Amino acid sequence: MQHFALTIIGRDRPGIVSSTAEIIYKLGCNIADSSNNILGGQFAMILILSHPQITDAEQLAKEFSALEDQGLSVFVRALKPGGEQRPDMPGEVCMISVYGSDKAGIVYQVAKVLSDNNINIVDLNTKLIGTKERPVYVMICETVLPAELPVAGLKKLMDTLKQQLKVDISVRTVTPVEL
């Protein structure tokens, strides 16, 4: 079945999910996966859809044009075969918390070290908190380590980064348990 990525964003108000889901349902699409959050004053939806007949992204996008009239921005992308499947990631799962006085480049510097060490970010949230006078940046990140990198290795990398960026960084493992 053809899979699509659909992203929708617009000023938050009640009814965005309902209008979107109505179109999806009436079209006969499956929602295979989705993440929907309020970011700033905007509601952002990212969905992986599949449809038994529709194969063309433009054709699908047309079906959502009514949302554009409601002031929402809509983008559809057709996935290549297998693009809906999450890759197998066998390494250790680690949460990383980064926080400190707001300054340029926190996300970049952290992400660069992770990327240089082949560490995969699977979930990332950032937020600007604190007061206007003393803004604080918070970055919470879930990562999967490559098989050859132990948790102690990641901690060492983050300790170095902590000195360089003058922010607080902590690392902890998450061990999923089957009960």
Partner 1 sequence: MAVQEVLVYPDPRLKQLCDSADITSEITTNLITDLIETMYESGHSVGIAAPQIGVCLRVAVVDVSNNKLGKKHNHGLLVLINPEIIESSGSKTMREGCMSVPDYTGNVERAREIVVQFTDKEGVNQVLRCKGFEAVAIQHELDHLLGLLFLDRVSNPGTDIFKRK
* Residue from 179, 2, 4, 175 nearest 92 by CA: 175
Amino acid at 104: A
Distance of CA 119 to the CA centre of its chain: 15
Q: Does 177 bind partner 1 (CB under 8 A)?
A: yes
With a CB cutoff of 8 Å and minimum separation 6, the contacts of 133 are none
Q: Which of 33, 63, 84, 102 binds partner 1 (CB under 8 A)?
A: 33
Q: Does 7 bind partner 1 (CB under 8 A)?
A: no
In a 3-state reduction of DSSP, which class is residue 71? coil
Q: Does 178 bind partner 1 (CB under 8 A)?
A: yes
Q: Does 104 bind partner 1 (CB under 8 A)?
A: no
Q: Does 176 bind partner 1 (CB under 8 A)?
A: yes
Q: Does 90 bind partner 1 (CB under 8 A)?
A: yes
Find where tokens 């803004």 sit.
Answer: 135
Q: Does 88 bind partner 1 (CB under 8 A)?
A: yes
Please give the Cα distance from 137 to 130 (Å, whole number). 8
* Nearest-approach distance from CB 52 to partner 1, in angstroms: 23
Please give the Cα distance from 135 to 34 (Å, whole number). 31
Q: Does 58 bind partner 1 (CB under 8 A)?
A: no
8: number of Cβ within 10 Å: 22
Q: Which of 65, 125, 164, 170 binds partner 1 (CB under 8 A)?
A: 125
Q: Does 152 bind partner 1 (CB under 8 A)?
A: no
Q: Does 133 bind partner 1 (CB under 8 A)?
A: no
In a 3-state reduction of DSSP, which class is residue 117? coil
Amino acid at 134: R
Q: Using the minimum distance from each CB to partner 1, give the nearer residue, 64 or 99.
A: 99
State the residues that interact with partner 1 by CB under 8 A: 33, 35, 37, 86, 88-90, 93, 122-123, 125, 140, 142, 174-179
